[in-house]
Structure 1
Amino acid sequence: MRWLLVFLLVFLIFNRAGVWLQKFGLGRLPGDVRLRLFGRELFLPFASSVVLAVMASVIMMVF
């Protein structure tokens, strides 16, 4: 249940800050999906969310 919440938060962050995060290379990984539906762009960052989750877990282990 906790991982589902983490993935939901990552999806929300990516959809809101996608342009800013692309400057750091996130959002352009091979597992990220962009869809255009009815004039709107939907971004599903599967690979980038895994990378961010691993980074967050490493940071939590250090502290």
Structure 2
Amino acid sequence: MIRWVIVVFLALMLISWLTPLLHKLGFGRLPGDLNFKLFGRQMNVPLTTTILLSLLCAGLARLL
């Protein structure tokens, strides 16, 4: 159980570190990514980016 907590924690840290780099590359602004303002806050739902990154990770996992 503790192993999964550590893995999830490390994955979230990695994602938070890579987020600025991914925004510079255009991820999060692809067609199909939803950006809207709700109650004065900017909300972002990156549907296309999630699908694209999932396919990329699946392809890398298949190669390894």
TM-score normalised according to structure 1 size: 0.67
CA distance in 1, matches of 2:26, 2:56: 14
Structure number with greater Rg is: 2
1:35 positional shift? 1.1
Percentage of matched positions with identical amino acids: 34
- The one-letter code of the counterpart of 2:63 is V
- Structure 2 equivalent of residue 10 of structure 1: none
3-state secondary structure, aligned to 1:42: strand
Q: How many residues align?
A: 48
- Structure 2 equivalent of residue 24 of structure 1: 25
Question: Is residue 44 from structure 1 mapped to residue 23 from structure 2 by the alignment?
Answer: no
Structure with the greater relative contact order (CA < 8 A, sep ≥ 6): 1 or 2? 1
The Cα RMSD (Å) is 1.9
- The one-letter code of the counterpart of 2:27 is L
